[in-house]
C-alpha cells in the first residue's frame, strides 16, 4: 500500500499559505518529513489524520480517499500527535484499555489480549499499573505508539516524536519505529535531521508550505557530493563570509564558528572539502541554495 498526495493546498484565514500544491508518493516503510518549525508539516499531518480540511488537492491511501472517506481512514490510522494528552491519574493499562474500547475493540477477552500484547511490544508491561503522570518522556512516547497501533493500522503518523527525549530514550524509540515501519506506511514528521538519517529510506523536505525535495536520503547526499566545503573562522568574520559565499550553516567548535559552504569549486584559501551530511542537504534547500525537486 502507498499514500499518494497530489496538489494539496491549505491557506489559513490570516493569509498564511501552510501548504502550496504539495505532491508526494509515500510507500510502505519509514518516510521522513523534514522541515523547520512552521514549515507546514503539522498542517499536512493533521489533514492526513482527518483533523483538518484541505482547500484543494487529493490524497489516496490505496483505494481510500483520505479527504472524503474520513471514517474509512480512521479505521486504518494510527496517530501520535506532537502533544499527546492522557489522563495523568490513570494507569497505563487502564488508559490503553479505554482507548481500545473507543477504537471499537468491544469484546473483553479480545481487548485484554490486544492491550497486553501492545504493552509488551513497547516494553511497558512491567509499568502497566503505574499512573501515566509518573512516566518519563520516553515512556509516554512509547505509550503513544502503543495506542497508535490499536486496530492494526495501515498508516501511522508520528509528529515530532523525539523532541525532549534523552539519547537512550531516543534510541529505544528509533528501534520501535523501525520495527513498526516494516509493514505499514509510517510518516515521521520532524525538524531533527538525525531522526530521518537514522530511520528513513525515503524522505521529503518542506518549507513555507512548499515541497523542496522528495526522494531517498542517499540521492539527496549524492546531489551535493563534492560541493560542500568547510572552514574555521573568527566570529568577527562571519558577516563577511555570509556576504561573499553561499554559507549554508555554521556551528561553534571550541568557541570558533565552523562554516559550511556549498560551491562547485573550491571557494578560496583555507576551505577544505567536507563529507556531505543530510544536514547540509537540509540547510541547502531551506536557504534556497538548491533548486526545489518535485516528487
Q: Using CA atoms of 166, 172, 174, 179 in order, give the dihedral in degrees to the nearest 10.
A: -170
Residue 280 is assigned to a structural domain of this protein: no
Listing DSSP states for 163-187 in one string gives TT--HHHHHHHHHHHHHHTTTSEEE
Same domain membership, residue 266 and residue 134: no
Residue 287 is assigned to a structural domain of this protein: no
Same domain membership, residue 75 and residue 121: yes
Same domain membership, residue 131 and residue 24: yes
Residue 120 is assigned to a structural domain of this protein: yes
Please name the helix (run of DSSP H) or strand (run of DSSP E) that holds residue 5, with its range, or none: strand 3-11
Residue 29 is assigned to a structural domain of this protein: yes
Same domain membership, residue 245 and residue 142: no
pTM of this prediction? 0.85
Same domain membership, residue 120 and residue 71: yes
Residue 10 is assigned to a structural domain of this protein: yes
Helix axes 137-148, 92-102, angle to 10 degrees: 30
Residue 144 is assigned to a structural domain of this protein: yes
Structurally, the chain folds into a number of domains equal to: 2
Same domain membership, residue 129 and residue 43: yes
Per-residue pLDDT tens digits for 5-14: 999 999 999 9
Residue 64 is assigned to a structural domain of this protein: yes
Same domain membership, residue 118 and residue 26: yes
Listed residue (4, 10, 77, 69) closest to 44, CA to CA: 10
Per-residue pLDDT tens digits for 92-113: 999 999 999 988 899 999 999 9
Same domain membership, residue 260 and residue 124: no
| CATH of residue 24 | 3.40.50.300
Q: Could you list the residue range(s) of the whole structural domain that residue 92 is in? A: 3-215
Residue 290 is assigned to a structural domain of this protein: no
Helix axes 108-121, 92-102, angle to 10 degrees: 130
Q: What is the pLDDT along the chain (295 residues), one digit of tens a residue?
A: 899 999 999 999 998 999 999 999 999 999 999 998 889 998 999 999 999 999 999 999 999 999 999 999 998 999 888 766 667 789 999 999 999 998 889 999 999 999 999 999 888 999 999 998 888 888 888 888 888 889 889 999 988 777 777 788 778 878 888 888 888 999 998 888 888 888 899 999 999 999 999 999 999 999 899 999 999 999 999 999 999 999 999 999 988 999 999 999 999 889 999 999 999 999 999 887 776 554 4
Same domain membership, residue 241 and residue 129: no
Same domain membership, residue 9 and residue 130: yes
Same domain membership, residue 65 and residue 202: yes
Same domain membership, residue 256 and residue 191: no
- Among 187, 215, 243, the domain-final residue is 215
Amino acid at each position: 500500500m502507498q499514500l499518494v498526495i497530489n496538489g494539496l493546498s491549505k491557506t489559513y484565514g490570516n493569509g498564511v499559505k501552510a501548504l502550496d500544491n504539495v505532491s508526494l508518493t509515500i510507500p510502505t516503510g519509514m518516510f521522513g518529513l523534514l522541515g523547520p518549525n512552521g514549515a507546514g508539516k503539522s498542517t499536512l499531518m493533521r489533514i492526513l489524520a482527518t483533523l483538518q480540511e484541505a482547500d484543494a488537492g487529493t490524497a489516496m491511501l490505496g483505494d481510500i480517499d483520505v479527504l472524503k472517506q474520513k471514517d474509512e481512514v480512521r479505521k486504518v490510522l494510527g496517530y501520535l500527535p506532537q502533544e499527546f494528552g492522557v489522563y495523568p491519574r490513570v494507569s497505563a493499562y487502564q488508559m490503553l484499555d479505554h482507548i481500545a474500547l473507543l477504537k471499537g475493540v468491544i469484546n473483553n477477552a479480545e481487548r485484554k489480549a490486544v492491550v497486553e500484547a501492545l504493552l509488551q511490544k513497547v516494553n511497558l508491561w512491567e509499568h502497566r499499573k503505574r499512573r501515566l503522570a509518573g512516566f518519563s518522556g520516553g515512556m509516554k512516547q512509547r505509550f503513544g505508539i502503543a495506542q497508535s497501533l490499536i486496530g492494526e493500522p495501515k498508516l501511522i503518523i508520528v509528529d515530532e516524536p523525539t523532541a525532549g527525549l534523552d539519547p537512550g530514550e531516543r534510541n529505544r524509540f528509533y528501534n520501535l519505529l523501525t520495527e513498526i515501519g516494516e509493514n505499514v506506511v509510517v510518516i515521521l514528521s520532524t525538524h531533527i535531521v538525525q531522526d530521518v538519517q537514522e530511520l528513513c529510506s525515503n524522505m521529503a523536505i518542506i518549507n513555507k508550505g512548499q515541497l523542496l525535495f522528495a526522494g531517498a536520503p542517499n540521492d539527496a547526499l549524492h546531489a551535493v557530493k563534492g560541493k560542500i566545503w568547510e572552514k574555521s573562522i573568527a566570529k568577527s568574520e562571519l558577516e563577511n563570509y555570509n556576504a561573499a559565499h553561499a554559507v549554508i550553516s555554521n556551528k561553534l567548535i571550541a568557541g570558533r564558528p565552523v562554516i559550511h559552504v556549498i560551491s562547485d569549486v573550491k571557494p578560496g584559501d583555507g576551505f577544505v572539502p567536507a563529507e556531505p551530511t543530510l544536514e547540509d542537504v537540509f540547510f541547502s534547500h531551506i536557504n534556497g541554495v538548491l533548486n526545489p525537486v518535485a516528487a
